[in-house]
Structure 1
């Protein structure tokens, strides 16, 4: 009796596809630690000290290493990369990062305590919200097909101003895919850049949700359970 051979995980497939889309646009791949400092996970990104995201009910704080968390996003990685680019005089620059993130929240078909997030940023002069919408529209068309329905809605995030949310049509309903916007001036100051000279677009969202739409996977939890219904990959 023959044994079935192992196959690449769907999230690994999607990660490589996402990296290809952005590197084709000139983005550099950035990597960072999963155990992140409070400074890069929250403070750099203009998240107030009393913001609910800092609560133990939302974030995994590390008792043995005070002031550190399991990162709740990979925007921290983008902030690190842009800070280094500024110090090295490598602006304009664009970065993309995909990595595992952690949220202390209840799980359901579209939410999980551990998932993969894609984050990106582009910094330079004369960068606008139109550039952001153009980049994200291109990305989702490449990932989900030219006929994908994408909608941009006004929103609020402490690290972007203005802020938008990106939604995609899934099973007849709009599914939130990503948060995005133009970096708040305080974010640029925190990484040592002049907000009067540079503009920066930021975006970030779950890679798992893209996979759910792309391949019709009904439950985000399937990705982490060794579910044999994913063996077609």
Structure 2
């Protein structure tokens, strides 16, 4: 318990320092701090999985690792030449997509194939709503990023849908609810992340969004202890 709390607290401190560095325009420091903050939720996953190694735990840990890579790449795009920024951004999005696929696989491991039909239905309904709401906020000329963003949002929605379906099929548990809340926070954060990739946001909005994302990863990592 002490190590778990320590990793969470250190992670939140590093996340706060990262947010401050990014707001101040210190992008080199921001990349290092963001990567280190993300490393904390990966280490949290490693620590929690060592006591009980399962297929679910292995998949969640892989998702956390790819989430860390995604974090680093999304911030690294500010340090590369402008013409390469979109490519680095796209790689970051792909890394997150792979991570979310591992999360979805972990949920299927818990709920079995019985959750797939419900997940598909929820994914279609929620994705259509979200994409239609976001469409006008993503510039046409940003085609590469726009396509990656849509695919990414649909994958995040699929993760949320799988978490909802798991509870419908298997019933309530604190573990399932923790994942569901984490998935919901992920979707909220990612919608704002995509939107604010093309629109200006205040420092408060940026900080809140980044904290929401970090809490989502922590809640998913904590399911390994439940």
TM-score, scaled to structure 1: 0.31
Indicate the structure with greater strand content: 1
The TM-score, its normalising length taken from structure 2, stands at 0.32
